[in-house]
Amino acid sequence: MPRRPAPPADAAGAPATAAMAGLAVALGLALAAGPARGDEPVIVAHGIKTFGELVLPPDFPHLPYVNPDAPKGGEISVWAFGGFDSMHPYSVKGRAGALSSVFFESLLEGTADEIGASYCLICTTLEYPESRRWVIFNLRDDVTFSDGTPLTAEDVHFSYDILLNQGLTDFRTVLAQQVERAEVLGPHRIRFDFKEGFPTRDLPALVGGLPIFSRASYAARGVAFDDSTLVPLTGSGPYVLDRLDVGRTIVYRRNPDYWGWTHPLMRGRSNFDRIRIEYYADYDAAFEGFKAGSYHFRSEARAALWATGYDFPALQRGWVKKVDLPDGTLATGQSFIFNLRREKFQDIRVREALGLMFNFEWSNATLFFGQYARIHSFWENSDLAATGVPADAERAILAPLVAEGLLSEGILTEPAVMAPTSGPRQLDRANLRAAGALLDAAGWTVGSDGLRRNAAGQTLRVEFLNDSPSFDRIITPYVDNLRNLGVDAVMNRVDSAQREFRERSYDFDITTFQFPMSYIPGSSLKQYFGSETADVSVFNRPGIKDRAVDRLVDVVLAARTPAELTPAVRALDRVLRALRPWVPQWYKNTHWVAYYDMYEHPDPLPPFARGELDFWWFNAEKAAALRAAGAIR
């Protein structure tokens, strides 16, 4: 908790809240008779893992990283940027409220300390052949939606069907390629068959990770699934909507009648009685709200504030804690991205030239107090990142694509593309000369007015779409550098709703985006990078369409062992970086958090989740002391 929306859905063990089902049966990993390919044995288990064996046995009492005796109660409050006008996260219409997928659970759930593992939540067991060509889920018979009605296999089938036919377009496209059919075998039993020719490694976990909606509640609403709505769909999760003030505040309330409180995956989790989210129009206003005690937990994203801004009275008096927490996750892939659908960005020399003019080193020293590292890879902060020239295993994957003419010979002999390095001055003269040569060669030459034009007399106009005042200080020097290059660069400040609308309709030149990859990449690669979804995906925002990338995505999905996966991901990373669809920004491997000293957490935290809304808890005595001191209301 919080729960993710279904798309993009990898089987890579993303952290989530869950409640284990049917552990008294303690089947473990057993073999049973069943139909498969010929006499292929059928595995019956309490979970499934992409590679290797599950760490947790069927009878585990609780997740190893939680406090199983954590007290329940209190409120945690955080902030969100911009606003919202919908509580439906599975539609492109409207701007969904933060955590609006919190209501929904799935058949399987991952954990925050085990990569590639999915354990039964709504199910007691799952059955599948070694080939993973199909899967059967045996559901618990005591699961209820938040309205008290039972959750059955019919609801699971309904949820799959409506996501397939009315969900986000890119997700529907990929799901249709993977699943042949879903069939209800009984009130608490459902089977999914997968299509021939598509790698099956991740597919049981993929369909097991789809959100489950109440069929009856949806039918009674009379609202189309793809419409925007402020009335959330009914799910089975531990939180329900308490109240909202459109665009300003959302409060979720812990459901005392939640079906899963006594189950091992839920012990020590979802501990707060309320989760409150306060919306702010900009980061400065949000910071002032935190200092004033309007909300009580803050994850800091601005290096300057972290370095110089946390000297306010509440912190000086010991009411607020300011801590660095370890972060074992991949970098988010935050970057400036080009809209490759626009003709001016289709020449790679133009993209390379524009990338040369962002001076990360100067920005880090001047704006970020030296606290960030540069992103170079889509899998930064992991051994999946491509480095140097390709090793033998990578070469074996890339060489056939070179032979077919899909990649140049240089991909086999040249080091992986790295983000450019700049000098200590805002305008790096060497990079300016290199960028100018690239644009000259691409046909964008400097005119008498200092602006670059093509043969048709059009200026090289580049608009940065920005909805964050805190990013002005980053984009403005970049724009200045580009104007020194002769680029007609501007920054256009819009509100968050306008930005989201323009990005989703692909009406932008350059914007800031993130590529949150996983340690075991799955079908979401087709949503982020696949040609077939480039003009419908909310995730392939740059519009990447490349036959070599498509082929490499298929190689990654077909990898059967970690030894096969690692070089495949590195090869994909190498080719994506060579396309230069982005200007990589920055990352850090710690969480900067500040909070009023009434929240506590397990120590140590798991590597793949900070978990403040999941397995932290409220200390009522500390809260009372803060209230008595006037620190909080």
pLDDT digits (tens, 9 = 90+) for 352-382: 999 999 999 999 999 999 999 999 999 999 9
In 349-482, the DSSP E strands lie at 373-374, 445-446, 452-453, 461-466
Contact 107, 203 (CB under 8 A): no
Task: Kindly list the structural domains of the chain, giving each domain's residue range(s) and its CATH number in brackets, ordered by start.
Answer: 23-72+94-221 (3.40.190.10), 241-329+590-629 (3.40.190.10), 335-587 (3.10.105.10)
CA pseudo-torsion sign 345, 553, 44, 186: positive
The span from the CA of 175 to the CA of 173, in Å, is: 6
Name the helix (H) or strand (E) containing 228.
Answer: none
Peptide bond into 604 cis (omega under 30): yes
Task: Express as a percent the part of the chain with pLDDT over 90.
Answer: 90
Q: In what order do the strands lie in the sheet containing 179-186?
A: 30-32, 42-45, 123-129, 134-139, 189-194, 179-186
Is the model more confident about 573 or about 533?
573
Reported confidence tier of residue 38, pLDDT bands at 50, 70, 90: low
H or E element in which residue 496 lies: helix 496-504
d(C-alpha 134, C-alpha 31), whole Å: 15
Residue 353 and residue 475: Cα distance in Å, rounded? 16
Q: In terms of Cα–Cα distance, which of 274, 268, 234 is closest to 254?
A: 274
Chain segment 408-453, per-residue pLDDT in tens: 999 999 999 999 999 999 999 999 999 999 999 999 999 999 999 9
* pLDDT of 272 above 80: yes
**Mind giving me the DSSP string for 131-172?**
T-SEEEEEE-SS-B-TTSPBP-HHHHHHHHHHHHHHS-HHHH
Contacts (Cβ under 8 Å, ≥6 apart) of 320: 310, 312, 314, 594, 595, 596, 597
**What tokens appear for 511 in the block?**
């914007």
Residue type, 93: K
Mean pLDDT check: name the lowest of 38-42, 271-275, 567-571.
38-42
In 57-72, which positions are buried (b, 16+ CB within 10 angstroms) versus exposed (e)?
Answer: ebebebbebbbeebee
Tokens coding 68:
């199983």
Regarding beta strands 452-453 and 445-446, do their DSSP bridges make them parallel or antiparallel, or are they unpaired?
Answer: antiparallel
Write out the two tokens for 567.
Answer: 């070089």
In 3D space, the residue among 506, 493, 561 whose CA is nearest the CA of residue 538 turns out to be 506
Long-range contacts of 249-257 (CB under 8 A, 24+ apart): 249/276, 249/277, 249/278, 249/279, 250/84, 250/97, 250/98, 250/99, 250/100, 250/276, 250/277, 251/275, 251/276, 251/277, 252/99, 252/102, 252/276, 254/72, 255/146, 257/144, 257/146, 257/148
Q: What is the pLDDT of residue 422?
A: 97
User: Which residues 6+ apart lie within 8 Å of 335 measured at CB?
Assistant: 375, 512, 513, 514, 515, 582, 583, 584, 585
Residue 314 above 70 pLDDT? yes
Number of alpha carbons in the 13 Å side-chain half-sphere of residue 364:
18
Q: Which of 105, 45, 147 is nearest to 260 (CA)?
A: 105
User: Cα(278)–Cα(369) distance, rounded to whole angstroms?
Assistant: 28
pLDDT tens readout for residues 127-162:
999 999 999 999 999 999 999 999 999 999 999 999
Does the structure show a pLDDT above 50 at 248? yes
Question: E strand or H helix at 289, and its extent?
Answer: helix 283-291
Which residue bears the tokens 């009335």? 231
